[in-house]
Amino acid sequence: MPAWKIAPEAGARRVFPPLVEVEVKALACQLPGECGVPLSRFSSAEIAAEVVRRGIVASISDTTVWRWLSEDAIRPWRHRSWIFPRDPDFERKATRVLDLYHGRWRGRSLGVDEHVICADEKTSIQARSRKHPLVAPAPTKPTRVEHEYARKGTLAYVAAGDTNAARIFGRCEAKSGIKPFDALVDQVMSQPPYRHAKRVFWIIDNGSSHRGERCEKRLQRAWPNLVAVHLPLHASWLNQIEIYFSVVQRKVLTPNDFCSPAAVADRIIEFQARYEQIATPFEWRFTRQDLARLMSKLADRTQPLAHAA
């Protein structure tokens, strides 16, 4: 293939034949490994170098490559993680959770004496003691955080939230497990309005502390009005307590500068009380219709993978 090189006039933008632009975009839409390049992802500069190496052009700037890719929103230097649902009963399990968020269970509206709780653990929270104190922000200067730190231990934050009342219940434990989770359940269920409610639905994932039918039976023996509702596998994004955990991560644990796990626990529980004073229920807009569309889209994407396997 001839090496294209256009000698432009001074100050003029170089013009390449359309075929060059097409080949650059085609290269950007391949994985580097498929091209024999020992990279995990391309940058515009690396694409420009590869185009020259292949003899497609004699020279080309990475700015030109970036401009061409930008026209079609091709960004090979970016990546995102994804996972396809592996639970064969994913849609049914997810649908009943979404129905609970919208006040329905098995086709009927929930009564005023029925409640929905989301629960999970935030594990391995570290206490990192910085070797120098944080420096408060100042004009033109952000808060400064010492890079080096000493590890002072870890803890787990076990929490539950009422989806309709924005109430948060939580406890910090040395580690997660069945006993800490059951202690959280007792903490919630022993107080009104849950103790004497008709039903209290607990939305939980498939972690070892609350997995499967054994967990459902264990919890219902202790609290007959409790209904455990398990999420599908790999569906933590459907658990509203994870939204609250993300708030805790941003507001309490970043930056992390604590002298001990006890100091972390004190800050978390104090924040929990503060959060309850200002919180409102999450406005959950994802519906069973949205889920059906998502599952249809994922089915279309998995078909080529199934054929390749």
pLDDT band at 140 (very low <50, low <70, confident <90, very high): very high
pLDDT at 80: 87
CA 238 to chain centre: 10
DSSP codes, 205-264: ---GGG-HHHHHHHHHHH-TTEEEEEPPTT-GGG-THHHHHHHHHHHTSSS---SSHHHH
Question: What percent of the chain has a predicted confidence (pLDDT) above 90?
Answer: 84
pLDDT tens-place string over residues 179-233: 999 999 999 999 999 999 999 999 999 999 999 899 999 999 999 999 999 999 9
Question: What percent of the chain has a predicted confidence (pLDDT) above 70?
Answer: 93
The mean pLDDT of 243-258, rounded to a whole number, is 96
What is the identity of the amino acid at 69?
Answer: L
User: What residue ranges do the domains of the chain occupy?
Assistant: 1-80, 90-289
**Per CATH, which fold does 90-289 belong to?**
Nucleotidyltransferase; domain 5 (3.30.420)
**Measured distance CA(245)–CA(226) in Å, rounded:** 23
Q: How many CA atoms lie within 13 A of 21 on its CB side?
A: 15
Instruction: Note the pTM of the prediction, 2 decimals.
Output: 0.81
